[in-house]
Chain A
């Protein structure tokens, strides 16, 4: 991986042509849409994209329209990483046979929760283990949003979804969010990172770093969904900021096993008084509304506790790396 940091300004990025085009059918204020737009702004040359079934796939490829200015393939829900494996293998061998013009083609696989945490995890794990050269980008909106807001392995504790409704007996999802980033870190790949669209510069740099890895790289990008979270569409990017500020979704990189906090989270580690209570992040979201009652207060406490514990663990890992 090159140590040269990519230098750019907001103007540079604003002028870079969009590879994820307007006219897609995502909801107004869609977090994943901004994430995909930004990720595609960080491409560095010829790129092929493959995507799992999900919101972004459906919204961007309603026949006969396509929102993709790059070659793009969708096959099924489970298969983003398997597709990337096939594309990468084909490019490799066809290049050897003199049938590929480009010196190098980056392969990016996009998937949402379903295509990463759950139905897609097998293909992802296999592709990473085999060492294919591709970047896997998880746009995490914490639920199977495209099919109607059902719970996924990435849905956090207490969140109401259509398959974990806030009922009289069970108050939303009873399990914590699967630690997908930890799982991917345990695969020992060269680069794993988390990103949030509010921190666009950090996100772009991480995409570029992931692309530069000769081998698999994994990006976990936070992508609020106003429809599924029952939140104000205008506040999508604000929630992407609050999640980081409350340490619900800390930003960090793991480069060859070494943990490093990214600046927004590092600042909180250095000045813990800047850490916001999770309540501030949760309170505007309709999916958590039922937690703000006396009988469910213990869940709010558990969310805060879990957040604090994981934040403490992460800080320790980052300290040990220095």
Chain B
């Protein structure tokens, strides 16, 4: 782990030095969204409503991708999906912990 910067090294006046995209909030979640690709109509409501912006629409690949590094497992996407294509589940590796 790198040490924290001294007062001499730190940028002046508290100007932030890192984008929050380097701070992964994905480990906050208990439940994780799981998509049923057959039910998905690509309406993109999940992309728009996600408080994190963790769901991305990739037009070149024609697919929707959830970035689990940032997904906090809130379940908004599952609740709003018009075809119920998303289910909130406890990840297999976490079961029994």
Q: Which A residues contact B (CB, under 8 angstroms)?
A: 10-11, 13-15, 18, 20-31, 33-34, 37-38, 60-61, 63-67, 69, 197, 200, 226, 232-238
- Distance (Å) between the CB of B56 and the closest chain A CB? 8
Q: CB distance A236 to B22 under 8 Å? A: no
Q: CB distance B20 to A233 under 8 Å? A: no
Interface size class of B (residues with CB under 8 A): 35 or more
- Distance (Å) between the CB of A69 and the closest chain B CB? 8
Q: Which B residues contact A (CB, under 8 angstroms)?
A: 14, 16-25, 28-29, 43-45, 47-54, 56-57, 59, 67, 70, 72-76, 78-80, 88
**B residues near A197, Cβ cutoff 8 Å:** 49
Q: CB distance B80 to A238 under 8 Å? A: yes
Question: What separation, in Å, do the CA atoms of A15 and B57 have in the docked complex?
Answer: 7
Question: What separation, in Å, do the CA atoms of A22 and B88 have in the docked complex?
Answer: 20
Question: What separation, in Å, do the CA atoms of A61 and B20 have in the docked complex?
Answer: 8
Question: What separation, in Å, do the CA atoms of A321 and B58 have in the docked complex?
Answer: 44
Known contacts A21-B20, A22-B52, A33-B51; A11 and B75 CB within 8 A of each other: no
**B residues near A15, Cβ cutoff 8 Å:** 57, 59
Question: What separation, in Å, do the CA atoms of A14 and B44 have in the docked complex?
Answer: 7
Question: What separation, in Å, do the CA atoms of A65 and B24 have in the docked complex?
Answer: 11
Which of B22, B44, B48, B80 is the most central at the interface, judged by chain A CB atoms within 10 Å of its CB?
A: B48
Q: CB distance A60 to B20 under 8 Å? A: yes
Known contacts A28-B74, A234-B74; A65 and B23 CB within 8 A of each other: yes
